[in-house]
Amino acid sequence: MMVQTYGCAGWNSGAFPRFRQDPFGKRDFTRKELRKHMPRFAAAWCWFFACVYVNNIANFWLQANLTGFYESQWKFSQSNFTAAQAWLKKNDPKTYKARWGAIPPEDTRSGLPANSYQESYANKTVKLFDLTYLYLPHVQGSGFADTFAYASLLVGLFRFVVLPGPMSLRWTFFTRILSVWGVLFLTRAFTITVTPLPNPFQQCEARVTFPKNILLEAFAGLPIMTPIFFNEVSCQDVMFSGHTACGTLWTLFSWRYLNKAPWFQPTPWSCSAWSCTAVLVDCFVCSWLCFGWYVIAASQFHYTVDVVVGAILTFVAYYAYHSLIKTIWLKRGHPFIARVIGPFVKWFEVHAVDLKFWRIQARCLMKDELEQMRRIAADRESVQSDA
């Protein structure tokens, strides 16, 4: 049934197709398939970049308006004195004038005014309390955090986009992951703005090309612009972790779609080599996620709560979307979903073969249950008539 639904019934005399018959999923680039999927692929790209753009606006607005804020509120030390003074001069001139209207003699030990040096905090940083920072081994630099995010992305692209095999879900996989990723970026734009946290990563150096134009700077920070034309970095976007969302999302999609777009024929669960492989894959994925979450927090690239919230929101977004695309086909549902979201989602997912296969399975299951209920009712009637 799965082979027929995916359109591969003629590949191997009706049996499950062999991987070598079409490892690159060339069928996805036929005119028929492109006509079906390209409008939806374009819609997913537009949604994704619109959400990233909104996230970038929030990022660089914070960079322009929040730099030095926490330093100004947490008094001063050698490392943050200049940023705090600049923030107060720009945003709170009254306090700035009261503190530095008449600058006292310099303290030769610190280069700061004497009263400011005496009032400074001993830790010389603006960093929130975090259990991971205190009790778990520190990871130097952000290299491992970058590896977790980018390796997860590259593995997912290679497995399901570059080398999907004959049972390909290339366009469906790509459009869905862009849609869910866009939702996460849109959510992040809200969370980083409503309660900005002080950045724990002291090595972060902001790079802004257009400091006086937030809209242009947000455009320069888009994924297709930054690696090629610009090198934009903001240091005020902490809650929640974008690295966590990226690595978790691509890992979760790759993990859950292994059985939706298999290279080899799935077999029933038993004490076989396939089941052992499935267990090993599950253990590896869980270990990879835990590794990624740990190195992001332990490198002090983000607070632990940033990682926890990012991971939870990613799981929620993934399962909420996949629940929506299944329940949207039911006749009864919430009016808002059925009338507002439903028509677009149905258009967006109308050519998804894995969803067609799920609907066929659901119908068969419902028919079996109805048939079983009829047999039970008939047996009851026969028993009552005999009595």
Percent residues over pLDDT 70 in the chain = 83
Of residues 308, 305, 290, the one with CA closest to residue 130:
305
Residue with tokens 């972060």: 204
Query: Where residue 180 falls among pLDDT bands split at 50, 70, 90?
Result: very high
Poorest-pLDDT segment among 168-177, 286-295, 352-361 = 352-361
Residue 337: closest CA among 172, 329, 186:
329
Taking alpha carbons only, the member of 246, 206, 219, 237 closest to residue 53 is 219
Mark whether 115 and 135 lie in a shared domain.
no
Claim to verify: residue 158 and residue 117 sit in the same structural domain: no
Q: What does the alpha-carbon distance between residue 310 and residue 240 come to, in Å, rounded to a whole number?
A: 5
Chain Cα centroid distance, residue 255: 14
Is residue 137 located within the same domain as residue 275? yes
Residue 20 belongs to a domain: no
Angle, helices 242-256 vs 143-157, to 10°: value is: 30
Q: How confident is the model at residue 129 (pLDDT cuts 50, 70, 90)?
A: confident
- Token pair listed for 375: 């047999």
Provide the 3-class DSSP secondary structure of residue 112.
Answer: coil
Confidence of residue 38 (pLDDT cuts 50, 70, 90): very high
Q: What is the pLDDT of residue 159?
A: 94
Which residue has better confidence, 127 or 31? Answer: 31
Q: How far apart are CA 69 and CA 53, in angstroms?
A: 24
Average pLDDT over residues 126-149: 88
Whether residue 203 sits in one domain with residue 121: no
Of 292-296, 304-308, 346-350, where does mean pLDDT reach its minimum?
Answer: 346-350
Residues 260 and 203 in one domain: yes
| Helix/strand/coil for 113 | strand
CA 63 from chain centre, in angstroms, equals 22
**pLDDT value at position 53?**
95
* Position 3 in a domain: no
